């Protein structure tokens, strides 16, 4: 039966997850140069519109429709939201099917938005929009069905991903790495440092992301219950532990703790705990958050300079690496007393093996299909703006607007 409390909780959580995309816009927008600030806001905002339409017409049914065969993709039973109404669904028996659908829509919006950080300051807006719609359809929707959809093959195998470690963070993080490698470095990348133009916006964005993450993770319980409370608490703990860990590492190595580092670390911890938050306890959340900052710092400060790729805003180092860590951590720390599944430390090594398979499959699929989509869109439309447009900035060259005016 429909439960009003559960329904209210999921609807509020849906609004919180939607807020994360504008939060991401400010988090990313503050880190780019001022001449590209509006372009990042525009890219995030348009995905809120375009991906909602995609989800209504065919995205939702591909991800959560009845399996079309072999656990690979959903059928078209829910195309145009046909049959998605006020009745409960098999996914969430105490809330209307429409409430479940719109909650999942917010995940479909923010996942391709995460990739923006990899190619910021150098992509054509038209190509970005086409690529994002194709990526959502051919990468996000299938992986979502595998892990969360009825009959999805990884779900049937026993994979656990409470709120999107594989579906969201690994998926987007690997796509970001591909995009950064294929689109190439920003003009002047090796000649001068590219510093954030507005750190207060970065902090505002990080705060909005942290706030929205409670809906992202806790709302994934799909009910106002004890699992939701556990996910809420472990989410906050992991973010706090990660923010402190990054700050301490940076302080120790460079002599100065920075606001950018603390905010980046918190986001790394929030990303890493996402797949595990409904299956682990508070102490495990501390370990996951601390590890996410340590490994994330290594990926951003050591691996990226060594290999020389220009992942502008460190999507791979934070979300890709954090998603892998969190998905494996779920198989390591999960407790049946919390989320109904035991991990390796509770005597179930098979779960860690399933989680490792989930990681490998998601990594491989996202890398390969993203590369194919990039090549196709680049051939048809061209992905990168010309050098002069990049120097002028995307705000002017792509949108004929500027983010700031100076009053004489």
- Helix, strand, coil share of the chain (percent; to 5): 75, 0, 25
Q: For residue 163, is pLDDT > 50?
A: yes
Return d(Cα 129, Cα 373) in angstroms, integer: 12
Using pLDDT thresholds of 50, 70 and 90, give the confidence band for residue 378.
very high
Quick one: pLDDT at residue 190? 80
pLDDT tens-digit map of 339-369: 999 999 999 999 999 999 999 999 999 999 9
Banded pLDDT at 193 (limits 50, 70, 90):
confident
DSSP 202-269: HHHHHHHHHHHHHHHHHGGGSSSSHHHHHHHHHHHHHHHHHHHHHHHHHHHHHS---HHHHHHHHHHH
Question: In the chain, count of helices (H) and strands (E)?
Answer: 19, 0
pLDDT in tens, 290-346: 999 999 999 999 999 999 999 999 999 999 999 999 999 999 999 999 999 999 999
Torsion of Cα atoms, 365 then 367 then 373 then 379, to 10°: -150
Task: Determine phi and psi for 74, rounding to 5 degrees.
Answer: -80, 155
pLDDT at 407 over 60: no
pTM: 0.97
As a CATH number, domain 4-399 is 1.10.3430.10
Tell the burial category of 2 from Cβ atoms under 10 Å away from its Cβ (0-12, 13-18, 19+): middle
Interatomic CA distance for residues 169 and 277, integer angstroms: 14
Residue of 261, 187, 205, 185 lying closest to 30 (CA atoms): 205
Task: Report the Cα–Cα distance between both ends of the chain, in Å, rounded.
Answer: 63
DSSP code at position 122: S
Tokens of 312: 């502008």
Helix (H, G, I), strand (E, B) or coil at 64: helix
Identify which of 158, 174, 189 has the alpha carbon closest to the alpha carbon of residue 341.
158
Average pLDDT, the chain: 97
pLDDT, position 192: 82
Domain boundaries, the chain: 4-399
Within 8 A by CB and 6+ apart from 178, the residues are 366, 367, 370, 371, 374
pLDDT tens sequence across 31-70: 999 999 999 999 999 999 999 999 999 999 999 999 998 9
φ, ψ (nearest 5 deg) of residue 224: -90, 85
User: What span, in angstroms and rounded, lies between the C-alpha atoms of 393 and 157?
Assistant: 48
Check pLDDT > 70 for residue 197. yes
Nearest C-alpha neighbor of 385 from the set 128, 25, 179: 128
Of 178, 160, 154, nearest to 70 by C-alpha is: 154
* Residue 34 to residues 45, 361, 403, 406, Cα–Cα distance (Å): 18, 38, 7, 13
């Amino acid at each position: 039966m429909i439960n009003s409390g559960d329904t209210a909780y999921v609807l509020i959580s849906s609004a919180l997850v939607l807020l994360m995309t504008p939060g991401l816009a400010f988090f990313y927008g503050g880190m780019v140069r001022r001449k590209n600030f509006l372009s990042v806001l525009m890219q995030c905002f348009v995905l809120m519109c375009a991906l909602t339409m995609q989800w209504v017409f065919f995205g939702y049914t591909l991800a959560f429709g009845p399996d079309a065969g072999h656990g690979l993709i959903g059928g078209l039973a829910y195309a145009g939201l046909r049959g998605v109404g006020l009745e409960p669904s098999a996914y969430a028996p105490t809330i209307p099917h429409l409430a479940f659908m719109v909650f999942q829509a917010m995940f479909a919006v923010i996942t391709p938005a995460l990739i923006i950080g990899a190619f910021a300051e150098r992509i054509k807006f038209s190509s970005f929009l086409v690529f994002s719609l194709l990526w959502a359809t051919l990468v996000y929707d299938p992986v979502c069905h595998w892990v969360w959809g009825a009959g999805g093959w990884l779900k049937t195998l026993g994979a656990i991903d409470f709120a999107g470690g594989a579906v969201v963070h690994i998926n987007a993080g690997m796509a970001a790495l591909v995009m950064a490698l294929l689109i190439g470095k920003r003009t002047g990348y090796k000649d001068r440092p590219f510093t954030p133009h507005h750190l207060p916006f970065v902090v505002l964005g990080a705060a909005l992301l942290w706030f929205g993450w409670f809906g992202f993770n806790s709302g994934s319980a799909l009910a106002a219950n004890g699992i939701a409370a556990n996910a809420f608490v472990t989410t906050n703990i992991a973010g706090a532990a990660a923010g402190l860990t990054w700050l301490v590492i940076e302080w120790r190595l460079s002599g100065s703790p920075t606001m950018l580092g603390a905010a980046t670390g918190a986001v790394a911890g929030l990303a890493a705990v996402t797949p595990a938050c409904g299956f682990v306890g508070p102490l495990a959340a501390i370990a996951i958050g601390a590890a996410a900052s340590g490994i994330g710092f290594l990926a951003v400060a050591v691996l990226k300079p060594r290999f020389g790729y220009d992942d502008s805003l460190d999507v791979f180092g934070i979300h890709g690496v954090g998603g892998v860590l969190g998905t494996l951590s779920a198989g390591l720390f999960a407790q049946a007393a919390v989320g109904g599944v035991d991990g390796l430390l509770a005597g179930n090594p098979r779960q860690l093996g399933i989680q490792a398979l989930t990681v490998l499959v998601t990594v491989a699929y996202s890398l390969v299909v993203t590369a194919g989509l990039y090549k196709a869109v680049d051939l048809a439309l061209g992905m990168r703006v010309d050098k002069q447009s990049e120097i002028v900035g995307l705000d002017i060259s792509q949108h004929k607007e500027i983010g700031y005016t100076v009053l004489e």
